[in-house]
Structure 1
Amino acid sequence: MRLLARVLTAGALTAASLAAAGAASSVATAKPAQAETILTGQWEYNTRFGPIPIGSDQHCIKQVDVDNFNRGICLKRYTCDYDTRVVQDGKIALKGTWTDKKGRVAPVTAKGSYTPESFRLNVNGKTVNGIPMVATVEAKRLSATCTAG
């Protein structure tokens, strides 16, 4: 998620950082009543801003990250309000707004898919400055345990 945040904040793109990213997040939920989404462990994220590859990064996904993923993905620096929030049966559909700490609001729509060991999220929206934004985050689980560091 930090990579997506850097990508989207670069060039005045402060509103959308997923990927999620985020942004994004991953792990099997510990609650037996919930369906499994993504698993914890070491993950690799590949991010594109439009058609341009921005980079690749690895993240240790913990249960808190999975919980964030299940709620519809939101970065710490934003308040995320989704009119549409679907994360189930291998599908992701989000539509709403992200509000930064200064109260600036940016509309965002994200669609994608996931398995316990991978996900893809396509994000469309505008930055808090009104600049159109399109980003894609693809992630895959590398291992069940995280590497040190």
Structure 2
Amino acid sequence: MRLFAPALIAGTLILGAVAAVAAPQIAGAAGAAGARTTILPGQWEYSYRVGPIPAGSEDRCLKQADVEQFAKGICTRKYTCDYDTRVVQDGKVQLKGTWTDKKGRVAPVDAKGTYTPESFRLNVHMKTINGIPLAGVMEAKRVSATCTPE
């Protein structure tokens, strides 16, 4: 079970990083006008890998309110996320910053990727809170404009 802990941590960090992709784009300098949605709401399929090892997959329903919420909280509840770099525009994503857990341990995160309104791919490089370097990939595609009933 201990071997899976880095994969679970990476999966959590990758999930948080993806939220920035779903967030509305913040245009240019402070005070610049306009925001647009970078991906569309609907039913999405996600898959995660840590190195070459599959780390999980899931289906998620993203409603418009969920997409907007991602802009406010691009983190899981277990971490405080600070990004020095957060660029989501013109089909490209770049994130660089740190995640801090509730015990004050810091994990540096660097993610780059691409997106379309119906898909995205993020390559995430990070160190766990224990200093173990990890590389992961998160891919997602929109499978339907409407969500499946739960």
TM-score with structure 2 length normalisation?
0.78
1:5: which partner in 2? none
Larger helix percent: 2
Is 1:56 matched up with 2:57? yes
Give the CA deviation at 1:80: 0.8
Is 1:133 matched up with 2:134? yes
Bigger radius of gyration, 1 or 2? 2
Q: Are the counterparts in 2 of residues 15 and 106 from structure 1 also a CA contact under 8 Å?
A: no
Structure-1 separation of matches of 2:104 and 2:123: 25
Letter in 1 for 2:88: V
Report the count of equivalent residues. Answer: 139
Distance 1:21 1:117, change over 3 A: farther
Identity value in percent:
61
Letter in 2 for 1:83: D
User: Which of the residues 3, 11, 19 maps onto 2:5?
Assistant: 11
Structure-2 separation of matches of 1:28 and 1:79: 17
Gaps of 5+ in 2: 25-32
2:45: which partner in 1? 44
Structure-1 separation of matches of 2:85 and 2:23: 22
Give the CA deviation at 1:62: 2.5
Give the CA deviation at 1:86: 0.4
Distance 1:94 1:22, change over 3 A: closer
Cα distance per residue 1:10-55 (max 9 Å; x no partner): 42456542432664477685xx921230111110001111011223
